[in-house]
Structure 1
Amino acid sequence: MSTTAIPAAAKDTGQPAKYERQPNVLRKKLSSVVPGSVNLQVLGAGANGSPSAVYLFTDQSRYLFNCGEGTQRLAHEHKTRLSRLEHIFVTRNTWNAVGGLPGLALTIQDAGVRQVGLHGPPHLDTMLQSMRRFVVLKNLQMQTIDATNSEPFEDSILSVQSVVLRSEQQPEQSVISYICKLKPRPGALNLVKCVEHGVPPGPLLGQLKNGQDVQLPCGKLVRSADVTEPGETALSFAFIDVPSADYLPALQAQAPEYKQLAASELTEVALVVHFSPPAMTEHAEYRQFMADNFSRCTEHIYLNSPSNGFSGYAAAHRIQYQLHQLAPLVFPLLAESLQLQPNCPPKKTKLEQEEPASGAQQPLDEGVVSMTSFHLRPKKGLDRTLESKLTPEEYIKETHAVPGVTELLAKLKCDTKLSQDAELASSESYPRIIFLGTGSCIPNKTRNVSSILIQTAAEAFVLLDCGEGTHGQIVRLYGSERARQIMLQLQAIYVSHLHADHHIGLIALLTERQSLAPEAPLLLLAPRQIEPWLQFYNRQIEPIAAAYTLVANGELLQQPLRGEAVARLGIDSIATCLVRHCPNAFGISLTLQAEHEGAPIKITYSGDTMPCLDLVELGRDSTVLIHEATMEDDLVEEARIKTHSTISQAIQQGRDMQAKHIILTHFSQRYAKCPRLPSSEDMRHVAIAFDNMQVTVDDLKEYQKLYPALLAMYAEYTEELEQRAVKRELKLERKRKLAET
């Protein structure tokens, strides 16, 4: 891994991490002050494989509501600072609500966060405990609070009351909705009244302004209410999650609580955020409940709505549009972008629409996307100005604005078939290798974590590793309908080792596959040590045991897997070897029934590893070697410490096993676009992988022709990498000279 499993900050060096959060005096001082700014921000709207997650932030504190797979990636892309997160509230303990927690916990631990409260249904504590093999929390304390039997959460900013809903069919299953009440902000300080009451200038005025009563030096008590103007009406807002009709009776039973909240003269219900799935938000009984218990002035945000058209991962589309100019066959546009109309006028918010007629049923929201905001203070209302959107014309213009790129692209069209229109190209050549995630450690804007989809036959797919958000990557690349077909045709998932960035996406894939084909279990090839985690999830959270048949990677060390189990995948045999990374880390080779130039096609995948002789033997005479290349060449010592490979080491592994083609992947997050490459001669028969790239063996023969235009396109970025390398070398040189003297 990947430093994800054991982040640098978590290593026990006996010294505090240099980036460990220092006590913030100002923050402590503000902790008792009612904030002047309170905003709710949609991180993920549940569209096209994105999570449903909402971030609430004030001047002092941060709160997250639900944390599905991909939450930290969206937060990174949109510069939402999770390092200041203090409390997480989840509505369910199932994967769609908590699947992003493992990666997020490791990331915020690395950023110096030391304590986070996790509120939600039962079993969250045992879930974290069952993850301890691959989520190593040494410096972060995640305190779990069972919201079904705890007191309401309260701090100086808001109170959060849990509303427990239980299924009629399975009473042991509980889902939590939340009612949040902001502490009202005191009215403005009336200085005339302060003088009348004898309050001297100084800090006492500030305390009175903040709603605190004070005692004067003479002993007189002055109440804040006596010297301030009337305060604002307290605002309330709610998060509601009703998974299915089984929970509707429980929702109806809570009607008096919601009705009392809406009817109170002391509070105004500004907003309801719906985590409920579309089948429920469109249910007549559900909609009637909303009409009966909330006024027409209450706004509604419907996450997971079919109207929410865009996932929010704009940076992935930007780089895909740019790479598409190089080779449409290799870099097809994402189906998500083809389904959207990026230039349509912005949708009106309900505040801008005509007021509905009295008694009219409240319409569903028109749709929200990542970065839709709702201001709770100082001005109440929806704000769409920062919403994530696609601008393809801008991405293409950026590409052609780089000097020399237009001419190099024109030359490519003459030199290679890879510049053909992807829609006109034949897709009958197999295997087809599709890269869903090509980054290491944690996802960044343009590279998700490890996952490679291989189409081994016309109706058969195999997945090599499945980091967080893998299913979402499939949905955005292919569109929802084709993604369903692929999930039905997915026959096997291979997990190389148990670092989080290589298998956190597994639960989502298993649950999706089980819902589509409950009688057709997947073949799961993984370290045997994954079993306790899967058994826990199946036993305590939701049933997934029928979704897979586990074959331990270690069982294939001596005897490759053959026979009907793999023949239907278009594969003749599957073999593994141990590699040099962490305990129970494996490499794999797939020998296919398909042939190329008279020999069976053999694909070898390294997983994460240092240079490894056993992998060379396993991959002897491979048609394609897919090898991790986490570090650039002058970081060889860092690669050794973290048990990864440099780019040249990965290439040499391919040369040693006499592989015909080499594809490099698993790049450090510092190489968001293009890694720092060795000389062009060293890159013969070597391709570098990008997210959403797909290649056949024939495509790899021509990949090298892309390098001149590719390097020109990202010349500014690669020059920056060169400058960083020079600075590192100068720093090392200074250290050497100091050591000599």
Structure 2
Amino acid sequence: MQLIFLGTGAGRPTLERNVTSIALQFPERHNRFWLFDAGEGTQHRLLGIKRLKLSKLDKIFITHLHGDHLYGLPGLLTSRSFIEGAGKLTVYGPPGLKAYLDGIMDISEVHLDYELEIVELASEKMEQTVLEDSFCRIVAMELDHRIRCYGYRIMESPKTGSLDLEKLKRLGISPGPEYGKLKRGEAVTLKDGTVIRSEEVLSSPKKGVTVTILGDTAPCENAVKLAHEADLLVHEATFASGLEEKAAAYGHSTITQAARAAREARAKCLVVTHFSARYAADAVERMAEEARSVFGNLHAAADGREFAIPMDAAGED
């Protein structure tokens, strides 16, 4: 997986940072990708990353209905109608999302050339399954913000083990359809009648990665639950340390509070984002350096910055 930050600012755009949007790309799945939030200008950011084509976008997850996380969505949906090969798109989000989009589409007389499905999450504090298939399971929980806001936990399914190529060679099995059968867990019968079971030539399954992407939130128990032992946690850090009272008044977190949440959750890596417009890039880096005393593997997001998942402590730019 590849996490790409399209917008990392809070409230309003600046010359350094656009408002919130994150792409989660799957190179192994023909470069398909998902979006988490779509603040104003998101489609312009996408134009700058050639491999993120709207025809490859099939899911969008909205954390909440504040404009800096949402106002780019109608334009993006409309533009996607002009993209050849754009198939069904599903948008998940809080109650009210369908009324918002239906109203805009109706008033603007927009007619999409693809199927749009809108799924509204339940209004409850408990964990709810948003999506479950052979690739992953995604759950959501409500966070502590001024309006209903969700965090998402993406849990990749275990990956099939690797084939023992040397053993296959000794058995006289050449690359071809038999490899595919064994990878799928099927048995293969040799010409002499010998049956080769997949478990004889496959290594143990590999654990899938877990990514947690939170919307705006003050420190809360659900944020820690969603982030439990995540390979990568994305947590807002609207304010610098020392502004806890101001953060609480607006339903946000300071960077130190984000670091504490990652530490409590035993996450492997923390990427902080959603910085107030008052902070220039150098100020954000100073904030991050201070917060590393609480959680060492902390990285400050910037527009266009990418992280491979799983990743090492250095990240990827």
What SS class does the counterpart of residue 152 from structure 1 fall into? strand
**Following TM superposition, by how much is the alpha carbon of 1:122 offset from its aligned partner in structure 2, in angstroms?**
1.1
Between the aligned partners of 2:133 and 2:313, the Cα distance in structure 1 is 22
Between the aligned partners of 1:83 and 1:131, the Cα distance in structure 2 is 22
Between the aligned partners of 1:223 and 1:135, the Cα distance in structure 2 is 58
Match 1:75 to one of 33, 38, 46? 46
Alpha carbons of structure 1 residues 275 and 284: separation in structure 2 relative to 1, 3 Å: closer
Equivalence for 1:383: 316
For the pair 1:51 / 2:32, whether they are aligned, the reply is: no
Q: How many residues align?
A: 284
**Following TM superposition, by how much is the alpha carbon of 1:253 offset from its aligned partner in structure 2, in angstroms?**
4.9
Match 2:119 to one of 145, 159, 163? 145
Equivalence for 1:534: none
Equivalence for 1:62: 33
Letter in 2 for 1:158: C
Match 1:114 to one of 48, 67, 87? 87
Between the aligned partners of 2:222 and 2:311, the Cα distance in structure 1 is 34
The 8 Å contact of residues 256 and 294 in structure 2, kept in 1 or not, is answered as no
Give unpaired runs (5+ residues) of structure 1. Answer: 1-37, 263-268, 311-339, 342-346, 385-741
Alpha carbons of structure 1 residues 73 and 305: separation in structure 2 relative to 1, 3 Å: same
- Structure with more relative contact order (C-alpha pairs < 8 Å, separation 6 or more): 2
Between the aligned partners of 1:44 and 1:254, the Cα distance in structure 2 is 21
Between the aligned partners of 1:217 and 1:363, the Cα distance in structure 2 is 52
The 8 Å contact of residues 143 and 151 in structure 2, kept in 1 or not, is answered as yes
Between the aligned partners of 1:207 and 1:377, the Cα distance in structure 2 is 28
For the pair 1:40 / 2:12, whether they are aligned, the reply is: no
Equivalence for 2:244: none
The 8 Å contact of residues 148 and 164 in structure 1, kept in 2 or not, is answered as no
Alpha carbons of structure 1 residues 98 and 223: separation in structure 2 relative to 1, 3 Å: farther
Equivalence for 1:645: none
Alpha carbons of structure 1 residues 288 and 301: separation in structure 2 relative to 1, 3 Å: closer
Alpha carbons of structure 1 residues 88 and 204: separation in structure 2 relative to 1, 3 Å: same
Alpha carbons of structure 1 residues 365 and 200: separation in structure 2 relative to 1, 3 Å: closer
Match 2:72 to one of 94, 100, 113? 100
Alpha carbons of structure 1 residues 84 and 225: separation in structure 2 relative to 1, 3 Å: same
Equivalence for 2:187: 215
> Where do 1:23-422 residues align within 5 Å?
38-46=1-9, 48=14, 50-59=18-27, 60=30, 61-79=32-50, 80-112=52-84, 113-132=86-105, 133-134=107-108, 136-148=110-122, 151-165=129-143, 173-194=147-168, 202-209=176-183, 212-217=184-189, 223-243=197-217, 245=218, 248=219, 251-253=220-222, 255-256=224-225, 258-259=227-228, 262=229, 269-275=230-236, 277-278=238-239, 279=247, 280-282=252-254, 287-295=259-267, 298-306=268-276, 309=280, 361-362=294-295, 365=298, 367-376=300-309, 382-384=315-317
**Following TM superposition, by how much is the alpha carbon of 1:214 offset from its aligned partner in structure 2, in angstroms?**
0.8
Between the aligned partners of 2:203 and 2:189, the Cα distance in structure 1 is 24
**Following TM superposition, by how much is the alpha carbon of 1:183 offset from its aligned partner in structure 2, in angstroms?**
3.1
Alignment deviations for residues 167-220 of structure 1 (CA, whole Å, 9 cap, x no partner): 6xx8xx5211011122343332113444677867521212433xx211335898
Alignment deviations for residues 526-554 of structure 1 (CA, whole Å, 9 cap, x no partner): xxxxxxxxxxxxxxxxxxxxxxxxxxxxx
What SS class does the counterpart of residue 174 from structure 1 fall into? coil
Letter in 2 for 1:228: L
**Following TM superposition, by how much is the alpha carbon of 1:165 offset from its aligned partner in structure 2, in angstroms?**
3.0
Between the aligned partners of 2:163 and 2:21, the Cα distance in structure 1 is 38
The 8 Å contact of residues 233 and 269 in structure 2, kept in 1 or not, is answered as yes
The 8 Å contact of residues 65 and 88 in structure 1, kept in 2 or not, is answered as yes
Alignment deviations for residues 55-85 of structure 1 (CA, whole Å, 9 cap, x no partner): 1111222111110001011111333322311
Alpha carbons of structure 1 residues 216 and 94: separation in structure 2 relative to 1, 3 Å: same
Alpha carbons of structure 1 residues 100 and 220: separation in structure 2 relative to 1, 3 Å: farther
Letter in 2 for 1:85: L
Alpha carbons of structure 1 residues 214 and 39: separation in structure 2 relative to 1, 3 Å: same
Between the aligned partners of 2:266 and 2:136, the Cα distance in structure 1 is 20
What SS class does the counterpart of residue 149 from structure 2 fall into? strand
**Following TM superposition, by how much is the alpha carbon of 1:380 offset from its aligned partner in structure 2, in angstroms?**
8.0
The 8 Å contact of residues 119 and 146 in structure 1, kept in 2 or not, is answered as yes
Instruction: Choose 1 or 2 for highest CA Rg.
Output: 1
What SS class does the counterpart of residue 93 from structure 1 fall into? coil
Letter in 1 for 2:253: T
Alignment deviations for residues 504-546 of structure 1 (CA, whole Å, 9 cap, x no partner): xxxxxxxxxxxxxxxxxxxxxxxxxxxxxxxxxxxxxxxxxxx
> Where do 1:702-717 residues align within 5 Å?
none
Alpha carbons of structure 1 residues 221 and 103: separation in structure 2 relative to 1, 3 Å: farther
Between the aligned partners of 2:182 and 2:87, the Cα distance in structure 1 is 33
Alpha carbons of structure 1 residues 235 and 221: separation in structure 2 relative to 1, 3 Å: farther
Q: Give the alignment's TM-score, normalised by structure 1.
A: 0.34
The 8 Å contact of residues 92 and 175 in structure 1, kept in 2 or not, is answered as yes
Give unpaired runs (5+ residues) of structure 2. Answer: 240-246
Letter in 1 for 2:141: V
Q: Give the alignment's TM-score, normalised by structure 2.
A: 0.75
What SS class does the counterpart of residue 92 from structure 1 fall into? coil
Between the aligned partners of 1:76 and 1:96, the Cα distance in structure 2 is 19
The 8 Å contact of residues 208 and 224 in structure 1, kept in 2 or not, is answered as yes
The 8 Å contact of residues 233 and 262 in structure 2, kept in 1 or not, is answered as no
Alpha carbons of structure 1 residues 78 and 308: separation in structure 2 relative to 1, 3 Å: farther
> Where do 1:595-606 residues align within 5 Å?
none
Q: Among all aligned residue pairs of Structure 1 and Structure 2, give the percentage whose two residues are the same amino acid.
A: 20
The 8 Å contact of residues 272 and 299 in structure 1, kept in 2 or not, is answered as yes
Between the aligned partners of 1:294 and 1:55, the Cα distance in structure 2 is 24
What SS class does the counterpart of residue 180 from structure 2 fall into? helix
Between the aligned partners of 2:309 and 2:142, the Cα distance in structure 1 is 25
Higher helix content, 1 or 2: 1
Between the aligned partners of 1:40 and 1:284, the Cα distance in structure 2 is 22
The 8 Å contact of residues 45 and 308 in structure 1, kept in 2 or not, is answered as no
Alpha carbons of structure 1 residues 119 and 195: separation in structure 2 relative to 1, 3 Å: same
Equivalence for 1:667: none
RMSD (Å), alpha carbons: 3.5
What SS class does the counterpart of residue 78 from structure 1 fall into? coil
**Following TM superposition, by how much is the alpha carbon of 1:273 offset from its aligned partner in structure 2, in angstroms?**
1.0
The 8 Å contact of residues 164 and 177 in structure 1, kept in 2 or not, is answered as yes
Equivalence for 1:405: none
Letter in 2 for 1:131: I
The 8 Å contact of residues 297 and 313 in structure 2, kept in 1 or not, is answered as no
